[in-house]
């Protein structure tokens, strides 16, 4: 319908979007999301067995697309994104990430070393993004003035409603997280998680909120100790920026062509033993 109305809509919409950027205000009508619960499996009366699919106003995608394009170009042009982030990045994919990871593992095994890898998962990472922290990180990456104020207004006072069996729930205020189903949300999350690899010397690969750490060492104990040290730093990062690790989904694995005893691979007690044991 909107495409058929382009000749009539283009002028007022252009004026409306330009005005939105000029005064750094995102319309409240563009901030409400309608959630359609998609049943997965299990008990149909258990809300956790539904996947929430959020639908946003179609016209809200216009300013989002414009902001995304300019923000992404700014980040790429000035090399402000972690170079080994493959999620929501143009001309990148899980294929590139997995090929690189497999190659790193193969190089370690070929060099007759122990390769220790940790696969980390964050608990509802997109929904736990702290808005004040996100704005701070955007500011540090050079997003200032009207652009930063527009994004701040875009994030605040957002609401959601649930549609079920043709009935709509009352609106509920969303106080954290990037908007699900939006164009701009994934890029804002990349900015939020971008500094996670700082001060970590092992190989770190990211796909949005999924993290892989890889460490090569001649000795299995040293390999585990180093990885533990980096895991502690990531845990500290997650606590500082309010995105908790989902330890139930964190895994670790050792790759090697060499035999090592169970005793040699025993790890000292640390706060991250559950992740790598």
Q: Distances from the Cα of 127 to the Cαs of 4, 119, 170, in angstroms?
A: 35, 20, 20
How far is it, in rounded angstroms, from Cα 264 to Cα 250? 22
Element (H, E) at 74: helix 61-77
| pLDDT, one tens digit for every residue, the chain (277 residues) | 888 999 999 999 999 999 999 999 999 999 999 999 998 889 988 888 888 899 999 999 999 999 999 999 999 999 999 999 999 999 999 999 999 999 999 999 999 999 999 999 999 999 999 999 999 999 999 999 999 999 999 999 999 999 988 899 999 999 999 999 999 999 999 999 999 999 898 899 999 999 999 999 999 889 889 999 999 999 999 999 999 999 889 999 999 887 654 444 444 433 333 333 3
Element (H, E) at 236: helix 220-240
The pLDDT assigned to 47 comes to 85
How far is it, in rounded angstroms, from Cα 159 to Cα 170? 10
The pLDDT assigned to 267 comes to 40
CB–CB of 88/68 below 8 Å? no
The pLDDT assigned to 263 comes to 46
User: Residue for token digits 């414009």?
Assistant: 66
Burial per residue of 155-179, b for 16 or more beta-carbon CB atoms within 10 angstroms, e otherwise: beebebebeeeeeeeeeeebebbbb
In a 13 Å sphere around the CA of 181, the CA atoms on its Cβ side amount to: 17
Report phi then psi at 275, rounded to 5.
-80, -30
Exposed / middle / buried, residue 37 (Cβ in 10 Å: 0-12, 13-18, 19+) = middle
Number of other CB atoms surrounding residue 133 within 10 Å: 15
The pLDDT assigned to 82 comes to 94
The pLDDT assigned to 44 comes to 87
Outline where DSSP puts E strands in the chain. Answer: 32-39, 50-55, 114-120, 158-164, 167-168, 172-174, 203-207, 210-217, 251-255
Strand partners of residue 203: 214
The pLDDT assigned to 274 comes to 33
Instruction: Express each pLDDT in 52-110 by its tens digit.
Output: 899 999 999 999 999 999 999 999 999 999 999 999 999 999 999 999 999 999 999 99
The pLDDT assigned to 265 comes to 44
How far is it, in rounded angstroms, from Cα 75 to Cα 15? 27
């Amino acid at each position: 319908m909107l495409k058929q109305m382009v000749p009539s809509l283009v002028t007022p919409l252009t004026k409306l979007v330009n005005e939105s950027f000029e005064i750094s205000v995102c319309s409240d009508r563009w901030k409400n999301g309608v959630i359609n619960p998609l049943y997965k499996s299990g008990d149909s009366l258990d809300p956790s067995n539904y996947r929430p699919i959020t639908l946003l106003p179609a016209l809200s995608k216009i300013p989002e697309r414009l902001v995304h394009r300019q923000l992404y170009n700014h980040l790429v042009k000035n090399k402000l994104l972690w170079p080994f982030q493959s999620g929501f990045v143009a001309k990148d994919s899980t294929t590139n990430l997995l090929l690189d990871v497999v190659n790193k593992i193969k190089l370690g095994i070929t060099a007759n070393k122990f390769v220790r890898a940790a696969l980390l998962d964050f608990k509802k990472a997109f929904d736990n993004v702290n808005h004040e922290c996100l704005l701070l990180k955007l500011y540090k990456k050079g997003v200032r003035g009207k652009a930063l104020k527009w994004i701040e207004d875009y994030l605040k006072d957002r609401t959601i409603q649930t549609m079920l069996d043709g009935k709509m729930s009352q609106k509920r205020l969303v106080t954290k997280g990037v908007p699900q189903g939006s164009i701009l949300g994934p890029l804002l999350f990349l900015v939020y998680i971008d500094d996670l690899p700082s001060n970590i010397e092992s190989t770190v690969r990211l796909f949005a909120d999924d993290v892989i750490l890889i460490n090569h060492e001649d000795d299995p104990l040293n390999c585990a100790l180093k990885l533990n040290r980096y895991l502690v730093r990531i845990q500290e990062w997650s606590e500082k920026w309010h995105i908790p690790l989902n330890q139930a989904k964190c895994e670790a694995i050792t790759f090697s062509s060499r035999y090592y005893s169970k005793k040699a691979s025993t790890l000292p007690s640390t706060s991250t033993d559950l992740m790598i044991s």
